[in-house]
């Protein structure tokens, strides 16, 4: 399942949708009207990705005052209608020969619950693309990147494959700059959202060598009079994506269930992807082998050795003899005349027993 996205050509970063050989994909949500007969006339459209779940599902039991109960029931009705529309579109799209996909709009909190909601809502088949939509890296409004890591991990635990990561240029760059922190997000195939004709200077090449999909057209840059690309049977604000490959190659790579290549030095904590058959069979996830972390006692021994070396660097050499000096002038004169040893005698004297003692400290002891 490990996926390899090779380096894209330079033209794939500069208005690639103008190349008639590049495959296109539509993504929509429940309020986008679709004329399927018209849509089918555009032979460049290979796939259709529909919004599935949004955060957590509504609470199951409605309680509270009349207003709260009415709001609860309205949310449940909307949830049920959206799920019914999702499944209907799935049947129609596949009947027209389109590849199918689903994305989850990530909200703050409970990544495992959101992953379960996504899977239960979308009911994905083995050939359906899955995507995690992180609109921005503001954890007060959207799912935090740490929670997104757990979301992706739980999807893999349940389905044996990984989703695609949908995000904007700023968030993608942040993940790329911190790839050793976000070891799963940085290895997901990238669904890149940027509404400029050229992205070469903005694309996070330090981590991703290319994109799986580039959302180049949306409400932000497509209006009544001007649009990068219009798809028949869809409104002006429909999201259109281009792939860095032709239709046949995109069909072969769909649904991008693996991980992109990574440097060997940070494969340690990444679960080794299983085949789709093994994942669906519920086989256990295996992990890359790593060197065991040092034990507590080993760390204590290392720090003790370094501290001893550091302390010894401040020790002064011991003098080879310690002499009692006279106290007064008279004693000093008498000592210099009768008892002052020669330089050779000092050199020949035995070493002091206290390695940290100096002449000044011994003289101070004599005074005391």
Poorest-confidence range of 85-99, 249-263, 284-298? 284-298
pLDDT band at 324 (very low <50, low <70, confident <90, very high): low
Q: To the nearest whole percent, how much of the chain has pLDDT over 70?
A: 71
- Tokens for 102? 């689903």
- Tokens for 178? 């911190």
Q: What is the pLDDT of residue 349?
A: 46
Q: To the nearest whole percent, how much of the chain has pLDDT over 90?
A: 61
What superfamily does domain 22-253 belong to in CATH? Glycosidases (3.20.20.80)
- Model's pTM, two decimal places? 0.70
Residue 289 contacts residue 162 (beta carbons within 8 Å): no
- Tokens for 193? 């959202």
pLDDT band at 62 (very low <50, low <70, confident <90, very high): confident
Q: Mind listing the pLDDT tens digit for each residue in 94-153? A: 999 999 999 999 999 999 999 999 999 999 999 999 999 999 999 999 999 999 999 999
User: What is the domain partition of the chain in residue ranges?
Assistant: 22-253
Q: Which residue do the tokens 């069909």 mark?
A: 251
Mean pLDDT, residues 245-255: 97
| Residue 100 DSSP SS3 | strand
Q: Mind listing the pLDDT tens digit for each residue in 9-43? A: 547 999 999 999 999 999 999 999 999 999 999 99
pLDDT band at 66 (very low <50, low <70, confident <90, very high): confident
**Residues 6 or more apart in contact with residue 74 via CB below 8 angstroms:** none
Please count the helices (runs of H) and the strands (runs of E) in the chain. 11, 10
In Å, what is the CA distance from 71 to each residue of 60, 75, 221, 344? 13, 6, 34, 103
Query: Would you say residue 341 has pLDDT above 80?
Result: no
Query: Would you say residue 368 has pLDDT above 50?
Result: no
Q: Mind listing the pLDDT tens digit for each residue in 252-279? A: 999 999 999 865 544 444 555 566 666 5
Mean pLDDT, residues 343-365: 42
Is the sign of the CA dihedral 55, 59, 64, 70 positive or negative?
A: positive
Q: Which residue do the tokens 């009768």 mark?
A: 338
């Amino acid at each position: 399942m490990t996926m390899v996205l090779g380096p894209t050509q330079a033209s794939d970063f500069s208005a690639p949708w103008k190349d008639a050989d590049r495959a296109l994909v539509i993504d929509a949500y429940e309020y986008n009207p679709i004329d399927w007969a018209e849509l089918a006339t555009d032979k460049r459209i290979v796939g259709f990705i529909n919004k599935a779940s949004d955060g957590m599902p509504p609470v199951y039991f409605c309680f509270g005052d009349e207003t709260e109960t009415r709001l609860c029931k309205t949310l449940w009705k909307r949830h049920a209608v959206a799920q019914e529309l999702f499944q209907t579109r799935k049947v129609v799209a596949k009947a027209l020969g389109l590849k199918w996909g689903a994305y989850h709009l990530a909200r703050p909190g409970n990544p495992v619950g959101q992953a379960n909601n996504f899977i239960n809502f979308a009911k994905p088949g083995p050939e359906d693309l899955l995507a995690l939509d992180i609109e921005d890296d503001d954890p007060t409004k959207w799912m935090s990147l740490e929670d997104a890591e757990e979301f992706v991990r739980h999807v893999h635990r349940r389905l044996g494959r990984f989703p695609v990561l949908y995000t904007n240029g700023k968030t993608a760059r942040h993940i790329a700059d911190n790839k050793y922190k976000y070891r799963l997000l940085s290895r997901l195939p990238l669904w890149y959202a940027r509404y400029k004709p050229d992205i070469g200077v903005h694309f996070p090449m330090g981590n991703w060598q290319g994109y799986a999909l580039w959302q180049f057209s949306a409400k932000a840059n497509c209006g009544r009079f001007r649009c990068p690309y219009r798809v028949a049977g869809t409104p002006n604000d429909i999201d259109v994506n281009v792939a860095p490959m032709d239709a046949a190659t995109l069909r072969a790579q769909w649904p991008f269930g693996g991980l992109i290549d990574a440097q060997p030095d940070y494969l340690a904590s990444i679960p080794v992807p299983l085949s789709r058959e093994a994942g669906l069979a519920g086989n256990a996830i295996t992990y890359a082998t790593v060197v065991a972390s040092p034990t507590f006692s080993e760390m204590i021994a290392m720090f003790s050795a370094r501290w001893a070396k550091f302390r010894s660097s401040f020790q002064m050499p011991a003098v080879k003899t310690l002499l009692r000096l006279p106290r007064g002038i008279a004693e000093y004169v008498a000592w210099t005349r009768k008892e002052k040893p020669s330089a050779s005698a000092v050199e020949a004297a035995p070493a002091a027993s206290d390695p940290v003692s100096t002449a000044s400290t011994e003289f101070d002891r004599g005074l005391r």
